[in-house]
């Protein structure tokens, strides 16, 4: 299926942006930069907007979600917006009883870590979501309308990145009924009842893949799949029990292409997880174009693990955001230097911005990255 003519990639607004070019493996005038969790509690303007609204209600309010997405782009001059939402939003829209509890994260009415729980979920037909995504589609449209005229110094519009949780990471929450340390409930179900596990993987892949596809169709110029907790799996379990579902989720983006100057293009897909040093090659195999690397593996080492020709995203340790400026600047330059080992590099943190971060530090990093000669 082709993206519509007004999509920013098709209209030529973001196809040549630093972000999209780096995701295609091209070197750009400067390395593009954005931050995971750039929208959120590090920004006073976010805290002010969110005062009276629960997290998931904010995600489903198109005006609020668009405004929160735009705040860090305006403030820091980053090369991309990431859509303000959460990985559990499509579950809520499917009718699953989930809330995001401040200081804790997603909490479900019940845990779904057994055959009965899985049966309850899979009774919901994922195709019902296409209509339920109206607030998401509307929020993306509003965001993109402003990003299209926001040039942060690259001479193009600013692209929006859509995102979703990978089936395993969603299952880690569903099986435990909330955040868990080693994701034991999900990993136990995988082995105790492979049939129920396969059904759960199929259902979450459908739900989360549709969520990602809807954001791209509505105007996102790239997509990121967060398999944040995949690092708790062995390579064998990852490949056997979760990779097929991640591949299935990404098929909802793969089917959306476009043609520009007679050349067929696809929408770039980034795949990220934490503690995934052993899995980097396997995570590429599920159909990702770019691998997001956490701070545990230096980018030049990661480049060797994912194979030649794969662009990388990452990977400043978030702990450095509170270090003295000279220490932080040196670490930023080290990340940039190691990133030259990949054909394309998008600067980011190794995981999300910690809530207490001084936003001026993030703005400073954007300047240091954009001024670095190594690009
Ligand atoms: O700016 C951005 O990056 C966009 C916003 C965003 C993203 C990409 C939010 C808003 N959530 C996410 C994805 C997400 N949600 C992931 C994958 C990314 C990652 O690894 O950090 C995960 C694992 C979640 C689940 C989740 N939601 C947690 C983690 C809980 C745990 O297990 O430790 C939490 C704390 C949330 C709530 C949440 N989501 C987003 C925000 C701003 C918040 C905090 C809500 C608040 O203000 O209280």
Which of 34, 80, 105, 211 for a ligand 1 pocket mutation test, highest count of atoms within 8 Å of Cβ?
Answer: 105
Domains of the chain, each with CATH number or no CATH: 18-374 (3.20.20.210)
Q: Residue whose CA is closest, atom 10 of ligand 1? A: 86
Q: How far apart are CA 245 and CA 268, in angstroms?
A: 19
Determine the atom of ligand 1 nearest the C-alpha atom of 101. Answer: 48
Over the stretch 201-256, which tens digit does the pLDDT of each residue have?
Answer: 999 999 999 999 999 999 999 999 999 999 999 999 999 999 999 999 999 999 99
Q: What percent of the chain has pLDDT over 90?
A: 95
Q: Taking residues 79-104, report their average pLDDT.
A: 97
Q: Which residue among the candidates 50, 92, 142, 187 is catalytic per the annotation?
A: 50
- Output the pLDDT for position 375: 47
> Measured in angstroms, how far is the CA atom of residue 2 from the centroid of ligand 1?
31
Over the stretch 115-136, which tens digit does the pLDDT of each residue have?
Answer: 999 999 999 999 999 999 999 9
39 known ligand binder: yes
Over the stretch 18-48, which tens digit does the pLDDT of each residue have?
Answer: 999 999 999 999 999 999 999 988 999 999 9
Geometric angle at alpha carbon 10, from 209 and 215, rounded to 5°? 25
Q: Residue whose CA is closest, atom 35 of ligand 1? A: 105
173 known ligand binder: yes
Q: Do strands 222-226 and 269-272 pair parallel, antiparallel, or not at all (unpaired)?
A: parallel
Average pLDDT for the chain:
97
pLDDT band with cut points at 50, 70 and 90 for residue 374:
very low
Q: What is the pTM of this model?
A: 0.97
pLDDT band with cut points at 50, 70 and 90 for residue 200:
very high
> Measured in angstroms, how far is the CA atom of residue 298 from the centroid of ligand 1?
24
């Amino acid at each position: 299926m082709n993206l519509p003519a007004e999509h920013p990639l098709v209209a030529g607004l973001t196809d040549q942006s630093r972000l999209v070019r780096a995701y295609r493996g091209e070197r750009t005038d400067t390395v593009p930069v954005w931050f995971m969790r750039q929208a959120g509690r590090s920004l006073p303007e976010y805290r002010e907007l969110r005062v009276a609204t629960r997290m998931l209600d904010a995600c489903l309010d198109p005006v609020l979600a668009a405004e929160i997405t735009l705040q860090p782009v305006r403030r820091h001059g980053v090369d991309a917006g990431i859509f303000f939402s959460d990985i559990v939003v499509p579950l809520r829209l499917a009718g699953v009883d989930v809330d995001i509890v401040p200081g804790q994260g997603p909490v479900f009415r019940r845990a779904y870590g057994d055959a009965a729980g899985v049966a309850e979920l899979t009774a919901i037909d994922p195709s019902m979501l296409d209509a339920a995504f109206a607030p998401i589609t509307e929020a993306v449209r509003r965001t993109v309308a402003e990003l299209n005229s926001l040039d942060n110094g690259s001479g193009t519009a600013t692209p929006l990145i859509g995102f979703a949780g990978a089936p395993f990471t969603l299952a880690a929450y569903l099986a435990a009924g909330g955040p868990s340390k080693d994701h034991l409930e999900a990993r136990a179900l995988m082995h105790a009842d492979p049939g129920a596990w396969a059904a759960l993987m199929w259902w979450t892949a459908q739900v989360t893949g549709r969520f990602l596809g809807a954001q791209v169709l509505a105007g996102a110029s790239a997509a990121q799949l967060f398999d944040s907790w995949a690092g708790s799996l062995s390579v064998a379990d990852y490949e056997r029990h979760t990779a097929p579902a991640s591949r299935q989720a990404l098929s909802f983006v793969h089917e959306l292409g476009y043609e520009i100057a007679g050349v067929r293009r696809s929408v770039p897909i980034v795949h990220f997880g934490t503690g995934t040093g052993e899995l980097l090659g396997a995570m590429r195999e599920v159909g990702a174009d770019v691998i997001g690397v956490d701070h545990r593996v230096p980018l030049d080492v990661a480049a060797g693990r994912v194979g030649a020709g794969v662009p990388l995203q990452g990977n400043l340790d978030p702990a450095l955001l509170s270090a003295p400026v000279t220490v932080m600047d040196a670490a930023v330059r080290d990340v940039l230097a190691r990133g030259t080992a990949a054909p394309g590099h998008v600067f980011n943190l190794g995981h999300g911005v910690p809530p207490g971060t001084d936003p001026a530090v993030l703005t400073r990093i954007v300047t240091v990255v954009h001024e670095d000669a190594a690009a």
